[in-house]
Amino acid sequence: MSRPRVLVTREVFQETLDYLARYFDVTPNQADTPMSPVALAQALADKEGALTTLSERVDAALLAQCPKLKAVCNIAVGFNNIDLKACTERGVLATNTPGVLDASTADFTLALILATARRVTESEAWLRAGQWSGWKLKQFLGTDVHHATLGILGMGRIGQAVARRARGFDMTVLYHNTRRLSAEVEKSCHAAYVSMDELLARADILTLHMPYSPATHHIIGAKELARMKSTAILINAARGGVVDDAALVEALKRGTLAAAGLDVFENEPTLNPEFLKLKNVVLTPHIASSTEATRRKMALTAAENLVAALTTGKPPNLLNPTF
């Protein structure tokens, strides 16, 4: 009997391919050549499964060209590249990788907070450019992170992991979420629930931890930025599109917001060019979960989902609501 055929859309670790090869005929893409929608449709036309990343769009148009496809397993917790409704309508199982990247993403959020508040990248670039002539009392004055009020918008696993880390900096933690957490979880995170308005008004540092969806599109826009303190810092390691980047650029330019630390952007990898001109932003290329150990776990978790999807029909991290 022939083995199911699967496509791995981007470069992965060899161990991921070795694991998949125990079950499937695998078509890898270790050259990491980006696939256009046409190339992706061609590569998937005869495949039962796909290991995808957030750079491939899986929508109704693609699925219509892939009649054999039964499972799409994303190497990411976010899955806004996948049209879940279209997958469900076509009987295609879709999965993500929740849990395995929470700690690394929360660590990186703290890195962005510290780098932004203490002007780490700005001062380093200045030093590398040969500008340092000696110590000065008022050199690169930053903002204290310790004892600051941290606002967390989106209090799922990653938001909670950030809250727990904030305790080490003696921060006051406020949060807002679609659902209020239980008293027990609030206590373990040392976090107080407040309204969105109060969160925006009180946060010295506001960090975002929600998935991207039509409901969270531009959840931070001009109106929300205007409610924040002019001394505040915005951190986004969640998804591009939850912030209105053009409105953020305006607030940073006008000084109505002090600074921002951004790992994700609208229209990645193309950035709003104005960000590159601003000194009060720290910019990183969507690497919050990128540690060796975590990226290995993400790829393997996605591969395990694919094996389960095509062998039992019950992958552990199934996203389709009605299966």
Residues recognised as catalytic: 239, 268, 286
Do 33 and 288 touch, CB atoms closer than 8 A?
no
The first and second tokens of residue 81, run together, are 């590249």
Helix 292-311 to helix 102-117 angle (10° resolution) is 150
Residue 29 three-state SS: coil
Nearer to ligand DGY, 96 or 116 (CB): 96
Nearer to ligand DGY, 59 or 268 (CB): 268
Residue 211's CB is within 10 A of a number of other CB atoms, namely 16
Shortest Cβ distance from residue 286 to ligand DGY (Å)?
6
Pairing of strands 71-74, 49-52: parallel
Shortest Cβ distance from residue 179 to ligand DGY (Å)?
21
β-sheet with 5-8: strand ranges across: 25-27, 5-8, 49-52, 71-74, 93-95
Do 152 and 209 touch, CB atoms closer than 8 A?
yes
Nearest residue to ligand DGY, scored by beta-carbon proximity = 78
Residue among 9, 5, 91 nearest 48 (CA): 5
**List of residues contacting ligand DGY (CB under 6 A):** 54, 76-78, 101, 286, 289
Residue among 205, 105, 84, 219 nearest 157 (CA): 105
Shortest Cβ distance from residue 269 to ligand DGY (Å)?
13
Shortest Cβ distance from residue 97 to ligand DGY (Å)?
6
Degrees, nearest 5: CA angle 264-265-266: 145
Nearer to ligand DGY, 175 or 265 (CB): 265
Shortest Cβ distance from residue 170 to ligand DGY (Å)?
29
Shortest Cβ distance from residue 245 to ligand DGY (Å)?
17
Nearer to ligand DGY, 236 or 289 (CB): 289
Query: Which whole-number Å values give the CA distances from 29 to 38, 73, 150, in the listed order?
Result: 16, 16, 42
**What phi, psi does 37 have (nearest 5°)?**
-55, -35
Nearer to ligand DGY, 258 or 264 (CB): 264
Nearer to ligand DGY, 87 or 171 (CB): 87
Shortest Cβ distance from residue 225 to ligand DGY (Å)?
23
Nearer to ligand DGY, 54 or 260 (CB): 54
Residues 139-154: b if buried by 16+ CB within 10 A, e if exposed: eeeebebeebbbbbbb
Do 20 and 306 touch, CB atoms closer than 8 A?
yes
Residue among 283, 233, 258, 17 nearest 125 (CA): 283
